Amino acid sequence: MVDKKGNFSKRIYVDGIQDVFLAINEGVAFPPSSGDTVNITCDQHKFWDTFQISSPSAAKSKELNLAVKIYKERHKPLNELAQKLATSSGLTDSAKFKLINESYNVEMALIAAALGTHNDSPKAFYDNYFKHTALLYSSGLLKSFTLKTEEKYLESPDNLLSYKSLSPECFRLSEAYRAFIFDYVRSYKAFDTFYDMDSNSNPTILNPAKSEYLAAQSNIYIPLIRDWFMAKSLMFSFEAYQYKQVKPLYDDFLVSGTTPAYVDTIKVFYEMMSKLKPGLPAPQFTLKDTNGKLISLSDFKGKLVYIDFGGVYCGPCLRDIGDNAAKVHEKYKNKDIVFINICIDETGDDWKNKIKNLKFEGINLVAEGRGKHPICKDYNINGIPHYVLIDRDGNLANNNASMLQELVGNNENMLDIALGK
């Protein structure tokens, strides 16, 4: 909390070196280490004109100020580049690589101007390399192109940095590296489905949680990094896949995990997720609709309830609703099911106007507080869109229910099964 004089103090748990994001109207990321003291001053109304950051350590102050400078000058262009790469279908692979490599060298020059060569502060160089390597990967270019820079920036530019090298130093220093290896390892799948040749059934979809969890055991040979990956994979999977797919993997990690900090972390996380186990009573809530009327979950006992946690500024939310909601509502209009949209990113008249203009069908409710409302904690909403299915008895059927796009078409889906079709 900020006191009457505008001062605040916050103690934050940091494991090693972590990137911390500070939001005061504007936002900025910086990398404190365990035991650091960081001093920040700013005027929230003139954020970038007044923002200053320092540490009692001169070396740390230099590192912090570089991180702030990089965030200020490169965060927006990098996001715009990622968006362009994702949406510009007319770009050739070579053109995409040129854009990524140019961005990489712009940031490399910025880092070198402040710090000199790689040996003076490897974290900034690692972050830059793996942020842009991640863009190569997401653009499908990683196997065909390699980031290039000048020797004045890196003493050995061709072999100092490589996404093919599993590095304890990179892991310790760089959040960008950790983010890359998590996506890189978990996304590799040799096969997506398998067929039972003795039956005429549809192909069975493999358990994605198990595939991602086991990827660590077959690809990561450093115990600390392997345990980190498996713990992170479990946390992701509990929030993305069916509980029954993830629970056996959690039980395995309690036995196979060798890093106490990660085992303890996943135990704490599981205590929270176990409250959302299918069959348990769904957390109750009462929220306002567009007319200001209070609507409670208990009002719909006896019906299936499909909840779409989303927002009117969330691109994926709007795409799923815009492309599929009308079809789903038409498909199930005579069925014993209620569709509820809960907005967590806007309030008041702005929310109502957006709902009206976007023509959201179903029951529209708002959770005041922009993600801080108790309902977000109760249902563990850390990202949107997020979908929940509640059965006729008011119990959780699936806390990671299918998206609307998975409910259209003629193939049997989770709603059909729940309705007894």
pLDDT tens-place string over residues 158-205: 445 788 888 898 898 899 999 999 999 988 766 666 665 555 555 556
Mean pLDDT across 349-360: 78
Residue 337, strand partner residues: 304
The residue-averaged pLDDT of 370-391 equals 87
Q: What is the mean pLDDT of residues 13-29?
A: 76
CA distances from 154 to 76, 106, 110, 112 (A): 25, 14, 13, 9
CATH class of 286-419: alpha beta
Share of the chain above pLDDT 70, in %: 90
Name, in order, each residue with C-beta under 8 angstroms of 113's C-beta and a sequence gap of 6 or more. none
Q: Answer whether residue 212 shows pLDDT above 80.
A: yes
The predicted structure's pLDDT at residue 195: 61
Q: Give the pLDDT score at 47.
A: 85
Extents of the domains making up the chain: 20-184, 193-276, 286-419
pLDDT of 157: 41
Residue holding tokens 């109502």?
352
pLDDT at 276 over 70: yes
Of 118 and 198, more confident:
198
DSSP string of 138-194, one letter each residue: HTT-TTT------TTT-SSTTTSS-TTS--HHHHHH-HHHHHHHHHHHHT--S-SEE
Q: 3-state class of 369 per DSSP?
A: coil
Closest C-alpha among 221, 211, 220 to residue 186 = 211
Asked if 20 and 29 count as a contact pair (C-beta separation under 8 A), the reply is yes
Query: Is there a contact between 217 and 226 (Cβ–Cβ < 8 Å)?
Result: yes
pLDDT at 208 over 50: yes
Burial (CB count within 10 angstroms: exposed 0-12, middle 13-18, buried 19+), residue 147: buried
Q: What is the pLDDT of residues 40-63, one digit of tens each?
A: 888 888 888 888 988 888 888 888
Higher-pLDDT residue of 7, 25: 7
- 340 pLDDT higher than 90: yes
Residue 277 · residue 268 · CB < 8 Å = no
Confidence band, pLDDT 50/70/90 cuts, at residue 420: confident
Least confident of 16-25, 71-80, 250-259, 286-295: 16-25
| Mean pLDDT of the residues in the chain | 85
- pLDDT recorded at residue 372: 78
CA–CA dist 419, 337 (Å, integer): 8
Of 126 and 160, the structure prediction assigns the larger pLDDT to: 126
Q: In terms of pTM, does the model score above 0.85?
A: no
Structure tokens at 272: 């929270």
The pLDDT of residue 23: 75
